[in-house]
Copies of this chain bind each other. A is one copy, B any other.
Amino acid sequence: MEINFDNNNKLLILLPIIYNIWEDNILTEKEFTAISNYIKGAKWLTEDEKVFIASKIKFSDPPTRSELNNWLNKINSVASNSANTLTELGILMANNDRVIFTGDDIQKIAPDIVKLEISLGISGPEATQRFLNNQNSITNTHNTNQSFNVGLMTSLLNNGQDDLINKVKLIIKSADFELNIPTDTAEFREKVLQWCKILSENGLGSYAYPKEYGGKGDINGYFTIMETLSYHDLSLVIKFGVQFGLWGMSVLSLGTEKHYSKYLNDIGLLNIPGCFAMTETHHGSNVKGIKTTATYNHINRSFTIHTPEKYDRKEYIGNAANHGEMATVFAKLIIDDKDYGVNAFIVPIRNKAKQTLPGIAIEDCGHKMGLNGVDNGIIYFDNVEIPYDNMLDKFASVNTNGEFESRIPSDNRRFFTMLGTLVGGRIGIPRSALSAAKVGLATAIKYGDKRRQFGPENGAEVPVLNYRMHQQRLMPYLANSYALTFGLQYLTNRFINRKEEEMQEIEALAAGLKAYATWNTRDTLQECREACGGKGYLSENRIDDLKNDTEIYTTFEGDNTVLMQLTAKNRLSEFRKQFGEMSVSTIFSYVVEQAKTSITEKNPFAIRNTDESHLKDAEFHLHAFQYREKEVVASAAKRFKRLIDSGLDAFDAANIMHPHMLQITYSYLDRVVLEQFKLKIDAEKDVALKEVLTRLYNLFALNKIDENKAWYLEQGYMDGIKTKAIRKLISQLCWEIRQDAVPLVQAFDIPESCLGKIASSKIEEA
């Protein structure tokens, strides 16, 4: 009788391995030789059996497809969880109808077969588990499981602005606002202008202006409008911001009553489209260095606006290429050949028929990466004369004798005071950026909950949001989006309720949070794009426009890297006020040692404490954040001093310090946002809301610590065992939050018309 697997149970011990070598994609001819060699030396096989087995493992003579399938069926029918190796599985099969191998045999035979498995690299747990029916794996059964009331959460996020938010949403949900972005730039710009017109007709343009000039005197409302509009197209948001924010608010902030009564009403109704012309080609970030001149002519009390050299032209000016009729122009005031620093002037640039006025030359900035609905342009002034009243004269003026007058004698200080009044832009932009990130998150998370791909052997495919990797890509950004909502509400409140002496701090906070939030949006949308795969690349799913439009958010209203330095300087200055610098080395050492002592020496247990309750303890988070903030700024002061003492020029020293300065700002803002998140949770009464917010809060806190773990390890603030435990807890938190992820993005209450198509509840997984 011919030998085969059916009539010789003993041989079944090898069947799982033999099946694997034909099925597995990894094995090469070389490895077939390994098994062949084993067979030759196997004492428990007869020569005939060896011949048979050798015939089944001949690289050049594979089994037929149906034979392979028969083997698989055989193995499947016996496969059990108790087999940890293919050899154990083989023993199970061999012993199936009667016992062939007992303990003794197994000890004699099995170890060599196991070695064979190992040498073939088919010894992993997948090797045996592939034969099991795994439909009920944990990964497979995880799903959306809402734990809180979505409406309550929406209300919390809306922060008392529900009515206004709903009003704006009604408009952007209307048929007029259908999101069908033209690829043709000219067409797109006209559409955006029309949208702005509709918004102004609904009283939204003038919201921040005083009531006597048609507004509501509600700057908080203005920010809410910007934020809510940002679920919709961002060209609209920026056009809106240029017209009603930059242009209108520059008149309001830098001008006086005569300007308000003449212009504000019409600006708010979009009857005078206007520009904010500050940036020059050669002076982007270093605005103090602009070269455009405004020369005072005493004879007729006028000013002549002029672009001295080609690259002193105003560049990237929104509303300039097509629609703007006037512009707030920043120029150096010249009186009798003397330079009185940068001041602002209203300069007409087009007539009502949209013809460029004499002396004005305008070029189109052309196609851009995004925001193509905004008509950015370049403006040149060739000795353009404007009347005396067109100087925006809140901070400086020319008196009737033709003399310069200002209550702020320093040109530098005056300029920065003027800029300070315009800080609102640095609140509107990060809030807009955050909304864009939320649209991306809502789209990617809803899609990830539906989209299935891969799964356990023999089981159904799994929603991609069940993959830990996918969770760890998206959940931290979801936590950030909640944290930043509260952080930016705090910034807004500080700004609205500001006292004069707080302005520097608030400006620094706004500058920093603008950079912090817009970079967060950049990173969030990048992750969302990739998380949606090919779907994320299709324009119908909006992530492309959201990404490309917000890309420039990291540059305009102040380049992020420069803004981070600005905030850091403020923090360093505050630090010096507290601790000075001459004695830095002593005071510094004291501060640090004190901090270190409380952690390491006084409590050597803490740096290795991996208890979950400790890692989730808000006191631990706050201490870690504060410690980092203090240490980073103190070490910067010390290092700066050391560089200067070594003979370096201050500018060179500052240059070396820039990367360190960035860390000052990050550590400061992380702490501020953390605190605001915590305050919000503490004030919340609803238990379910409190719980889900606490999970997000823990993820936010631990993720930031994880991002900075190298620093904490360098400082000896934490041991490796603790940073690893944090990593593990983050994975666990992402896993838990995934169940509430869809409700958490539903709580943003973004109009469905503004989400990517793949997020739509009407579309099945696609």
Contacts and interface: CB of A to CB of B under 8 A. Distances in A.
A544 B368 contact: yes
A526 B715 CA distance: 31
A248 B620 CA distance: 61
B716 A720 contact: yes
Contacts of A555: 530, 533-534, 536-537
Contacts of A316: 534
A404 interface: yes
B125 A413 contact: no
A552 interface: yes
Contact of A658 (B311, B408, B468, B544): B468
A166 interface: no
A114 interface: yes
A29 B119 CA distance: 78
A286 B460 CA distance: 13
Contact of A650 (B126, B648, B651, B659): B126
Contacts of A340: 65
A530 B501 contact: no
A651 B456 contact: yes
A82 B122 CA distance: 74
B659 A286 contact: no
A40 B710 CA distance: 50
Interface in A722-743: 723-724, 731
A311 B654 CA distance: 58
A687 interface: no
A689 interface: no
A367 interface: yes
B551 A537 contact: yes
A129 B369 contact: no
Contact of A652 (B120, B137, B544): B137
B454 A285 contact: yes
Interface string A168-189: 0000000000000001110000
Interface string A214-237: 000000000000000000000000
Interface string A574-596: 10110011100000000000000
Interface in A534-575: 534, 536-540, 543-544, 547-548, 551-552, 554-556, 559-561, 570, 572-574
A358 interface: no
A455 interface: yes
Contacts of A115: 580
Contacts of A713: 710, 713-714, 720
Contacts of A453: 283-286
A617 interface: no
Interface string A683-699: 00000000000000000
B368 A538 contact: yes
A410 interface: yes
The residue among A417, A457, A710 with the most chain B CB atoms within 10 A of its own CB is A710
Interface in A507-529: 522, 526, 529
Contacts of A534: 279, 284, 315-316, 552, 555-556
Contact of A581 (B118, B284, B369, B648): B118
Contact of A22 (B282, B410, B543, B648): B410
B656 A289 contact: no
Nearest to A644: B125
A119 B577 contact: yes
Contacts of A501: 28-30
Interface in A746-762: none
A665 interface: no
A459 interface: yes
A64 interface: yes
Given A137-B651, A533-B284, A544-B369, A23 B412 contact: yes
A124 B572 contact: yes
Contact of A649 (B369, B456, B530, B662): B456
Interface string A617-638: 0000000000000000000000
Number of copies: 2
Nearest to A654: B126
Interface string A247-281: 00000000000000000000000000000000101
Interface in A121-146: 121, 123-126, 129-130, 134, 137-140
B576 A124 contact: yes
A6 interface: no
Contact of A723 (B124, B410, B714): B714
A63 interface: yes
A740 to B, nearest CB: 19
Interface string A647-682: 011111111101100100000000000000000000
Given A118-B582, A124-B576, A651-B134, A659 B552 contact: no
Nearest to A529: B551
A665 B35 CA distance: 29
B658 A469 contact: yes
A408 B25 CA distance: 11
Contact of A124 (B64, B118, B417, B573): B573
Contacts of A382: none
Interface of A: 22-26, 28-30, 62-65, 67-68, 84-85, 114-115, 118-121, 123-126, 129-130, 134, 137-140, 183-185, 279, 281-286, 289, 311, 315-316, 340, 365-370, 404, 406-413, 416-417, 452-457, 459, 461, 466-469, 472-473, 500-501, 503-504, 522, 526, 529-530, 533-534, 536-540, 543-544, 547-548, 551-552, 554-556, 559-561, 570, 572-574, 576-577, 580-582, 640-641, 644, 648-656, 658-659, 662, 709-710, 713-716, 720, 723-724, 731, 764-766
| Pairs A-B, 9 closest by C-beta atoms | A118-B580, A369-B544, A714-B720, A121-B577, A456-B651, A129-B650, A710-B710, A713-B713, A367-B539
13 contacts: A23-B410, A25-B413, A25-B416, A65-B411, A119-B580, A121-B576, A124-B581, A134-B650, A283-B453, A366-B540, A456-B651, A457-B651, A710-B723
